[in-house]
Chains A and B, each alone.
Chain A
Amino acid sequence: MPKKLAPKQLTRYTKPTIVEHIASHYVLGTLSTLVHNRAEQLMLVHPQLEARINHWQQSFIALDRQTTELAPKESTWQAITAQVDNLTTTEANNNLGQAAVKAQPAKQKHARQELVALIKPWFTLASSRFIHAVSIVVICLLSFALLNSNQQGGTEDSLSYIAVLTNTDNNAQFVASTYGESKTLVINIIHTPDISAAEDLELWVVSKTDQQARSLGIIPRNVAILAQQLSAAQWRLIKDSAALIVTIEDLGGSPIGEPSDIIVARGLCIRLKEWQKNA
């Protein structure tokens, strides 16, 4: 297992080179939508990143100023005003609602707070039980589906790829399997590596063709099994995969769309039909 790292070692976007990378690619438009959105969140808490983004935007604005003008359609302004009027009305209604809440007597507010304090522990317990119950149901359903598909000779949604992701001590941490027909990725989380509240685990697929790692998303906390519907693009990544890796990233995932150096588990992707053929 990798050593537990202090959160500050993971805040890569505070390093000038990383900040420059994110800022320049953000402005150039070469970040994926996911990473672009993360950068927008990071801007709110990292003024240095915001400043560099502004700097790059200002540097490139000359290109936008040189762009030929194009008169918009008349209907565009009409659509904008209609939407703005709608927004203004909604806002006004919301303000009225908020004013009504503020006008509630302090006594009533206090009583409500007491009630929340009373039910909160029960709600938390119920949530945790609910998560476990849902996990068990999902495991049962998936096991049933797998058994059913085996009984039918594997013709329906058969297991197509599997990867056992192990840590540096060769202990299995995750088992990732994909089902060809439904293009579903199922991850069994055997052991969750220790991460702080400021970190997330992110799953990556390493391409056979260009050896680049591309994200398959964040692995949520407190789940034993995760079933994820893959998009057509993600399915293509799986078909071209050499290996899967799980890394520790800053909360919300890698800010630059590339995995960190902290790889907690790695496993080769095995295509089952080939494996069965060779066996």
Chain B
Amino acid sequence: MVKTHSINILSSTDGKQQVMPYESMKYDQQHNQEISELIDLLCHCGKGDKVAFKRLYQQTAPRLNGIAYRITRNRDSANEVLQEAFIKIWENSSHYQVDKSEPFTWLAAIVRYRAYDRLRYDKRRHQADMIEFHEDDIQALNFNSQQLAFKEHAQGALNDCLAKLAQQQSQAILMAYLYGYSRADIAAYLKSPVNTIKSWIRRGLGKLQLCLKN
């Protein structure tokens, strides 16, 4: 059975009709609703509201824990990262600025940097078993960067741009961001000098920036 996508037709000022896939519009609505809910909860947390803090935790902890686990590759470490991150969120929620960052971006950044720190602390980056464990992930990652470009929502922009980069560039960038690999680790994994990795990342980020701007 062929699944058909319904589309919504939007009229523009010049009279031409623009089409927006229904799934994409639905995603935008959900996204905006989530943004306003999280902003509201963060505002209340900033005023010391523990009920709001609990709701914020319930709403975001599984996703944030997933991010911590993706980097640390250890459930205990991920939970400890999550714990430290939520303490920081509680302490800093009054400093959150709506105009500077989306709430989930702000929350995820706190978790991610904690997880990178934890990874460095554990010195687990240099363990061979971890490199092997990531082998499948990285293969999947190359596949995903091709596939994800076709997803019908706002996230496509990044995936689309990543898919346009040279494979080595996108791989180095994703290894660093997703799994917390250092440049030296990437160099060891890809059997290339550190300077080459730096150059791939620099050029890749430059192209990415241009692509996202366009």
Chain A contacts to B: CB under 8 angstroms: 20-21, 24-25, 27-30, 33, 36, 50-51, 54, 57-73, 75-77, 79-81, 83-84, 87-88, 210, 212
Contact = CB atoms under 8 A, between A and B. Distances in A.
Interface string B38-69: 00000000001010011001000111011101
A220 B162 CA distance: 44
A59 B208 CA distance: 9
B201 A50 contact: no
B32 interface: no
A24 B169 CA distance: 14
Question: What 9 pairs across the A-B complex have the smallest Cβ distances?
Answer: A62-B155, A69-B62, A29-B116, A62-B158, A70-B66, A72-B65, A64-B108, A69-B66, A61-B105
Most chain A CB inside 10 Å of its own CB: which residue of B69, B83, B173, B202: B83
Given A28-B176, A63-B178, A71 B62 contact: yes
Contacts of B91: 87
A58 B102 contact: yes
B24 to A, nearest CB: 14
Contacts of A60: 158, 177
Contact of A36 (B65, B78, B113): B113
Nearest to A28: B176
Contacts of B90: 80, 84, 87
B17 to A, nearest CB: 28
Contact of B112 (A25, A30, A64, A210): A64
Interface string B86-103: 110011000000001110
A25 B154 CA distance: 24
**Is chain A's interface secondary structure helix, strand, loop, or mixed overall?**
helix
Given A72-B78, A84-B50, 11 more contacts: A28-B201, A28-B205, A33-B117, A51-B100, A58-B105, A60-B158, A64-B112, A70-B75, A72-B62, A76-B79, A87-B90
Contacts of B69: 70
A65 B104 CA distance: 9
Contacts of B154: 62
A59 B91 CA distance: 26
B163 to A, nearest CB: 13
B87 A84 contact: yes
A54 B101 contact: yes
A30 B201 contact: yes
A29 B70 CA distance: 14
A80 to B, nearest CB: 5
Most chain B CB inside 10 Å of its own CB: which residue of A27, A59, A67: A67
Interface string B125-138: 00000000000000
B105 A57 contact: yes
B109 interface: yes
A28 B104 CA distance: 17
Contact of B158 (A33, A59, A73): A59
A88 to B, nearest CB: 7
A240 to B, nearest CB: 13
A17 to B, nearest CB: 10
B48 A88 contact: yes
Nearest to B205: A24
22 contacts: A20-B209, A30-B176, A50-B100, A59-B158, A64-B63, A64-B112, A66-B148, A67-B66, A70-B75, A70-B78, A71-B62, A71-B65, A72-B61, A72-B62, A72-B78, A73-B75, A79-B83, A80-B57, A80-B83, A83-B83, A88-B48, A212-B194
